[in-house]
């Protein structure tokens, strides 16, 4: 089991954490947001947080849930000059991503910076494909599509599936801003789409999964992680190309350990090679590691 630091960011930094909050820099703007795992005390005084943050998110109601489009609703308290939207860049080798951020009602801003390590992994694997071959990649629960951009920049044909239409528009804007094109956009329940792909006999060289703890499809389909993830992994196995394949999975449900991800994979895949699993983390200026969910990834040749 490993821990994975995002590394390589110039436009992102975790400045401080503690008191169930985190203070982060995204480009030129600094945000304060809730963080339930930051149970230690803050290194910086509260007055410095108030002075430094351009916007601070306050929860108002609901039950917190993991996932890109779930969580307690709340409001952003903004200082003058803090925009609704802005862009930052991410660069790795020839990967050059232009990421559009925005302040949402759920406290998310459009990216999960800890995913950068997975972006690099996806890009490298696609670049290493045998000369003259193409790669087909399926991104499920794809949100604003950082992983889709990494796969497309690497040269893959990408199918991007998410159930939320405004999020799909957001992802398309980021593709265009990054100078990319021809990602296939599918607004649909991920499990329903994958079942149909299996029936069609389609195959993929890579599958990316970032499922929420709870979710709803565009027609009210219900997703509950612990009830549906086993079927999803089984279907992903049936979609896997027989010659070469990779799978990247991220889980943000606080009750799920990396060992659960490993057991799921060993249940459905025979002897996955180079399997890596563990905990995402980011480090603040006081050298404290803040866990940000779990990951699992492997590839076969």
Kindly state whether residues 81 and 157 are assigned to the same domain: no
Confidence of residue 267 (pLDDT cuts 50, 70, 90): very high
State the pLDDT at residue 250. Answer: 96
Average confidence (pLDDT) over 156-182: 96
Domain assignment present for residue 104? The answer is no
Kindly state whether residues 279 and 136 are assigned to the same domain: yes
- The backbone torsions φ and ψ at residue 282, rounded to the nearest 5 degrees and listed phi first, read -130, 150
State the Rg of the chain over Cα.
19
Q: What is the pLDDT of residues 95-107, one digit of tens each?
A: 999 999 999 998 9
CA distance 153 to 175: 10
Dump the DSSP string for 106-151: TS--S--GGGHHHHHHHHHHHHTSPTT---EEEEES-TT-HHHHHH
User: 235-264 burial, b if ≥16 CB within 10 A, otherwise e?
Assistant: bbbebbbeebbbbbbbbbbeebebebbbeb
> 76: helix, coil or strand?
strand
Please state, for a pLDDT cut of 90, what percent of the chain lies above it. Answer: 84
Q: At what angle do helices 190-200 and 225-239 cross, to 10 degrees?
A: 30
| CATH number for 134 | 3.40.50.150
The token pair at 21 is 């909050």
The token pair at 108 is 């998310």
**In terms of residue numbers, what domain contains 198?**
111-300
Please state, for a pLDDT cut of 70, what percent of the chain lies above it. Answer: 94
State the pLDDT at residue 63. Answer: 42
Query: How many domains, the chain?
Result: 2
Domain stop point among 70, 86, 102: 86
Kindly state whether residues 138 and 208 are assigned to the same domain: yes
CA distance 65 to 56: 19
pTM: 0.92
pLDDT(218) > 90? no
Kindly state whether residues 124 and 56 are assigned to the same domain: no
For the chain, helix (H) and strand (E) counts, in that order, are 7, 17
Beta-sheet pairing, 245-251 with 289-300: antiparallel
pLDDT(130) > 80? yes
Beta-sheet pairing, 73-78 with 55-61: antiparallel
Confidence of residue 68 (pLDDT cuts 50, 70, 90): very low
Kindly state whether residues 181 and 72 are assigned to the same domain: no
Residue 157 contacts residue 163 (beta carbons within 8 Å): no
Confidence of residue 256 (pLDDT cuts 50, 70, 90): confident
| CATH number for 26 | 2.60.40.1180
pLDDT(67) > 80? no
pLDDT(7) > 80? no
Kindly state whether residues 54 and 126 are assigned to the same domain: no
CA distance 59 to 9: 28
> 292: helix, coil or strand?
strand
Kindly state whether residues 68 and 25 are assigned to the same domain: yes
Kindly state whether residues 267 and 150 are assigned to the same domain: yes
pLDDT(171) > 70? yes
State the pLDDT at residue 60. Answer: 81
CA distance 15 to 6: 15
Confidence of residue 5 (pLDDT cuts 50, 70, 90): low
State the pLDDT at residue 66. Answer: 41
Determine the distance from the C-alpha atom of residue 167 to the mean position of all C-alpha atoms in its chain, rounded to a whole number.
13
Mean pLDDT is lowest, of 27-41, 74-88, 216-230, 237-251, for 216-230
The H-assigned helical ranges of the chain are: 46-52, 116-127, 146-154, 165-177, 190-200, 225-239, 258-268
The token pair at 139 is 């991104």
DSSP 3-state helix, strand, coil percentages of the chain (rounded to 5)?
25, 35, 40
Kindly state whether residues 154 and 254 are assigned to the same domain: yes
State the pLDDT at residue 4. Answer: 61
State the pLDDT at residue 61. Answer: 59
């Amino acid at each position: 089991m490993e821990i994975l630091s995002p590394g390589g960011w110039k436009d992102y930094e975790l400045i401080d954490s503690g008191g169930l909050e985190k203070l982060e820099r995204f480009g030129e703007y600094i945000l304060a947001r809730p963080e339930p795992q930051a149970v230690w005390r803050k290194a910086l005084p509260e007055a410095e947080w108030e002075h430094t943050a351009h916007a601070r998110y306050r929860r108002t109601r609901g039950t917190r849930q993991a996932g890109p489009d779930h969580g307690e609703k709340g409001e952003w308290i903004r200082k003058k000059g803090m925009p609704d939207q802005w862009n930052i860049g991410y660069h790795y080798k020839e990967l050059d991503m232009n990421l559009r951020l925005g302040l949402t009602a759920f406290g998310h801003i459009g990216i999960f910076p800890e995913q950068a390590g997975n972006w690099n992994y996806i890009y490298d694997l696609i670049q290493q494909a045998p000369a003259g071959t193409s790669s087909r990649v399926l991104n499920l629960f794809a949100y604003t599509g950082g992983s889709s951009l990494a796969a497309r920049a690497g040269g893959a044909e990408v199918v991007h599936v998410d159930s939320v239409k405004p999020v799909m528009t957001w992802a398309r804007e980021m593709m265009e801003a990054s100078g990319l094109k021809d990602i296939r956009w599918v607004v649909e329940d991920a499990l329903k789409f994958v079942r149909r792909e299996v029936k069609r006999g389609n195959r993929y060289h890579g599958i990316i999964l970032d499922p929420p703890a709870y979710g709803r499809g565009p027609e009210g389909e219900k997703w509950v992680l612990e009830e549906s993830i086993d079927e999803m992994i089984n279907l992903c196995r049936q979609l896997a190309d027989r010659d070469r394949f990779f799978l990247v999975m991220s889980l943000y449900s606080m009750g799920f350990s990396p060992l659960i991800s490993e057991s799921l994979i060993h249940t459905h895949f025979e002897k996955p090679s180079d399997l890596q699993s563990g905990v995402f983390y980011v480090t603040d200026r006081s050298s404290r590691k803040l866990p940000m969910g779990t990951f699992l990834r492997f590839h076969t040749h």
